[in-house]
Amino acid sequence: MKFARSFFGYMIAGVLVMAVWKELTAVGGIFGGYLASTILIGPLWFMNHYVNLVDNRDDAAWVDMGLAIGVCGIFRDTFLTGGHAFQGSLPTIGVVILGAIAGGFVAAAFEKDIAKDLLEANDSTQGKNAPEPGMTTKEEHAIISTGIADGMADKNENDMISKGGA
């Protein structure tokens, strides 16, 4: 049922945006684009993410409405104008994929830097319970509550002492 809910939520987003956005921008220009984003994306985001019509769990990769809207747009034009429309969009799709990969690396670098700053700001733990980049709050609390992080830190300190370090 979760798949059906997600499919329905993404389908509504893709179909509505592809059906209404062009008409609003044709009539209103840039203001029509702002109007379309307000009356379409806002309620669709509320329906899909806040009400959680689509199943975005904390421990899974996040799939956003932008992917569904993009896929809907690609296939709509392919069905309406033929396969040459898809072939013509391949360079753009390739650049979007490269941008997504670069964005993923930048986001990972930001998360690592934020984790490092949090670690330096919290001198009391001295790195024993440092969160791993991308770790959810639920995972972090599970590690802290079981004492796994403390045991690992103590083991590492004992290894260092037995090897002549620290």
Instruction: List the one residue out of 97, 128, 133 whose CA is nearest residue 112.
Output: 133
Buried/exposed code over 11-41 (b: 16+ C-beta within 10 A; e: otherwise): ebbbebbeeebeebbeeeeeebeebbeeebb
* Largest CA-CA distance found in the chain, in angstroms, rounded: 75
Task: Give the C-alpha separation, 134 to 115, whole Å.
Answer: 10
Output the average pLDDT for the chain: 79
Q: Please, which pLDDT band fits residue 67 given cuts at 50, 70 and 90? A: confident
The pLDDT of residue 112 is above 90: no
| pLDDT, tens digit, 9 for 90 and up, residues 141-163 | 777 777 655 555 444 454 445 55
Which residues have C-beta within 8 Å of that of residue 125, sequence separation ≥ 6? Answer: 119
Residue 26 has pLDDT above 90, yes or no: yes
Cα–Cα distances in Å, from 60 out to 10, 55, 82, 121, 127? 17, 10, 35, 29, 26
Q: Give residues with Cβ within 8 angstroms of 55, minimum separation 6.
A: 2, 3, 5, 6
Rounded to an integer, the average pLDDT of 92-113 is: 91
Task: Read off the pLDDT of each residue in 82-109 and give the average, rounded to a whole number.
Answer: 90
User: pTM of the full predicted structure?
Assistant: 0.59
* pLDDT in the model for residue 128: 53
